[in-house]
Amino acid sequence: MELALPPLNIPTYGLVSLGGVTVGLSLFAWDFTRWWTSHKKRFAVKALSNLLPLLLCMAYGALLILSAGGIIGGLADWSLWGTNQAGDIVLVYGLGASTPNVTRASHLALTPGGHAAIIVITVIVLAVCTKRGFRWDFVRQILAGISLGLASSIAGLVGLAVAPTVSWAGDYVVGLL
């Protein structure tokens, strides 16, 4: 007599729901609003330079979700699943809304040089994040980028713009071109 085990319900990580996009946009809105209110009266190039690290962290998060796998890609997949779940819970139980799949139809793939570039960028991000204490604003924007990197809307343009550039640069630097 054989024991039949129920099938595993393993979540699909390569998909982003409306809830995940909502969480990503909310995380970006949080830090952007704080930046805007602190620089509204003296808007200058220096004020924009304070926003640049947040935008770079968002672009880095979008790159992470386009990774092929491994430990770093697995952490990004787990983060996407978490933001999808959190956003879905808020939308469904908080507002009674539905959360459709809003994933881009065609996935971008990073080249081997692009993956090498992600490792280098990860080292840079860790060095910057831990220089003067832990930076939660960077973590929020990395999560926002992970949540928005696969979206089919304007929010997903980060992944469309950054992935080919990083793949080309990584291939060029490591000599694959």
Tens digits of residue pLDDT in 38-86? 876 666 677 778 888 888 899 899 888 888 677 888 888 899 999 999 9
| DSSP letter assigned to residue 42 | T
Q: What is the pLDDT of residues 118-134, one digit of tens each?
A: 899 999 888 887 777 77
Global confidence as pTM: 0.82
Given pLDDT bands bounded at 50, 70 and 90, which one contains residue 96? confident
Show Cβ contacts of residue 137 under 8 Å, excluding neighbours closer than 6 positions: 31, 54, 57
pLDDT confidence of residue 26 = 94
Domain boundaries, the chain: 18-35+49-102+110-172
Quote the CA–CA distance of 177 and 174 in Å, as a whole number: 8
Which pLDDT belongs to residue 131? 76
Work out the number of other CB atoms within 10 angstroms of the CB of residue 172: 12
For the chain, the maximum distance between any two Cα atoms, rounded to a whole number of angstroms, is 76
HSE-CB for 70 with a 13 A CA cutoff: 9
